[in-house]
Amino acid sequence: MKRQLRLGVLASGRGSNLQAIVNACEAGQINAVVAIVISDVAEAYALERGRRYGIEAAFIDSTRHRTRNDFDAAVLDLLRKRDVELVCLAGYMRLLSPSFVEAYKNRIMNIHPALLPAFPGLHVQRKALQYGLKFSGCTVHFVDEGVDTGPIIIQAVVPVLDNDTEEDLSARILAYEHRIYPRAIQLFAEGRLEIRGRRVLCHGTDTPQQQEKQAWGAINP
Ligand code: GRF
């Protein structure tokens, strides 16, 4: 078996995407291991989930660090000590400092519950409903200095139904997040992703037919 890619997951909340990643690792769908879970929220359920799987779970207290840079330096230090190769943001509610992004350049991913570049930021399912979208979805992208602006790796399209509440739409999108995030990590682990400008190319899918299959396959594995 090839050496496993070492993941560091940063999460501020319930950690269902973390769970999907752990499940995919355990099922052998991705050749990776979650080396550490880090949260800026002491009671984040993501930490609890990590511990249940015997994964190191660390809370870093932002009130003990004067600036965003100081806080990020503490996170970075821990990630490096654990030899983390890919950082996965999974409901992490802090904007990374430029020095963090630079330290893990093109090795940080995020999952966002909308079809970027539409609706970056927060409360996006509510905004999608207010706008009257017929389709929304989710996006896995590399992280740059902006808010949800980095190069897009995989997107999944999800229908918006007439009577959807914010919770209904969030839940429908979340099910697709859990499919595409592990898939994007797997492609990274296989060394198949190449960032060219704003575009992320996926090697090993040479014909248009293969590319189409790959795109839909990410959603319906
Ligand atoms: C997800 O909707 C993700 O797209 C967004 O934050 C939420 C995190 O959910 N970035 P969970 O903590 O992974 O369950």
The domain limits of the chain are 1-105, 111-221
**Position in ligand 1 atom list of the atom nearest CA 17:** 13
Shared fold status for 1-105 and 111-221: yes
**CATH architecture for residues 1-105:** 3-Layer(aba) Sandwich (3.40)
Helix (H, G, I), strand (E, B) or coil at 89: strand
What pLDDT does 215 receive? 82
Residues 6+ positions from 3 with CB-CB distance below 8 Å = none
Catalytic residues: 112
H/E run at residue 52:
helix 45-52
Who has greater pLDDT, 205 or 64? Answer: 64
Q: What are the pLDDT digits (tens) for 68-122?
A: 999 999 999 999 999 999 999 999 999 999 999 999 999 999 999 999 999 999 9
pLDDT of residue 218 exceeding 90 = no
Decide: 91 in ligand 1 pocket, CB within 6 A: yes
HSE-up of residue 54 (Cα within 13 Å, Cβ side): 2
**Position in ligand 1 atom list of the atom nearest CA 173:** 2
Q: What are the pLDDT digits (tens) for 22-54?
A: 999 999 999 999 999 999 999 999 999 999 999
What pLDDT does 193 receive? 97
Ligand 1 center from residue 17 Cα (angstroms): 6
Distance between CA atoms of residues 7 and 163, nearest Å: 38
Whether the CB-CB separation of 123 and 76 falls below 8 Å is answered with: no
Q: What are the pLDDT digits (tens) for 74-88?
A: 999 999 999 999 999
What pLDDT does 2 receive? 76
**CATH architecture for residues 111-221:** 3-Layer(aba) Sandwich (3.40)
Whether the CB-CB separation of 108 and 142 falls below 8 Å is answered with: yes
Six-digit token string for 30: 């991705």
pLDDT of residue 213 exceeding 90 = no
Give this prediction's pTM: 0.97
- What percentage of the chain reaches a pLDDT higher than 70? 99
Ligand 1 center from residue 92 Cα (angstroms): 8
Ligand 1 center from residue 18 Cα (angstroms): 9
pLDDT of residue 11 exceeding 80 = yes
